[in-house]
């Protein structure tokens, strides 16, 4: 019979999707033997909307079956972002990943490089060091 009468949208909308993975996600030992630091940059694609939060997750298994997490919401300083994960057990390896969030939700997570690390402390300086002559040269 034909086309119906046209309708207009109530308001214009831009196409948006969840953001891509954060870039350059790296994992380092922290200042104390119970800390790790994750350093990351903004994703290459924000999905068409501003990033409002990053989710940092850590677990003792690469499957992340029971991860702990924290949100990074202070974004005014720009990337790179640094998050210190505290209260970890020295000597246990932790896997870390980061996801970006916009108005559409969280994008896929990006594993850190290295993907796991154990909190530790640097060894103390050697003690009882003696210098002796072992030859004439």
pLDDT for 42 equals 96
Peptide bond into 80 cis (omega under 30): yes
Q: pLDDT tens digits for 84-93?
A: 999 999 989 9
Q: What is the pLDDT of residue 46?
A: 93
Q: What is the pLDDT of residues 23-43, one digit of tens each?
A: 999 999 988 999 999 999 999
DSSP result, the chain: ---------SS---------PPEEEEEEE-SSTT-EEEEEE--S--TTS---EEEEEEESSTT-SS-EEEEE---TT-SSEEEEE-SPPTT--EEEEEEEEETTEE---EEEEEEEE----PPPPP-S------S--
Question: Residue 8's pLDDT is what?
Answer: 80
Tens of each residue's pLDDT in the chain, 137 residues: 788 888 887 887 777 899 999 999 999 998 899 999 999 999 999 999 999 999 999 999 999 999 999 999 999 888 899 999 999 999 899 999 999 999 999 999 999 999 999 998 777 888 888 888 888 87
Q: Does the CA dihedral 72-74-75-77 come out positive or negative?
A: negative
Contact 48, 57 (CB under 8 A): no
């Amino acid at each position: 019979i034909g086309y119906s009468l046209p309708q207009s949208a109530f308001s214009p909308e831009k196409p948006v999707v969840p953001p891509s993975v954060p870039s350059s996600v790296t994992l380092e030992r922290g200042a104390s033997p119970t800390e790790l630091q994750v350093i990351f940059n903004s994703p290459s694609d924000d999905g068409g909307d501003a990033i409002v939060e990053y989710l940092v997750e850590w677990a003792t298994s690469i499957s992340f079956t029971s991860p702990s997490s924290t949100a990074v919401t202070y974004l005014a300083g720009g990337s790179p972002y640094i998050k210190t994960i505290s209260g970890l057990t020295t000597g246990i390896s932790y896997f870390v990943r980061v996801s970006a969030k916009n108005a559409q939700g969280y994008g896929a997570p990006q594993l850190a490089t290295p993907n796991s690390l154990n909190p530790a402390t640097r060894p103390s300086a050697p003690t009882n060091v003696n210098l002796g002559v072992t030859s004439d040269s």
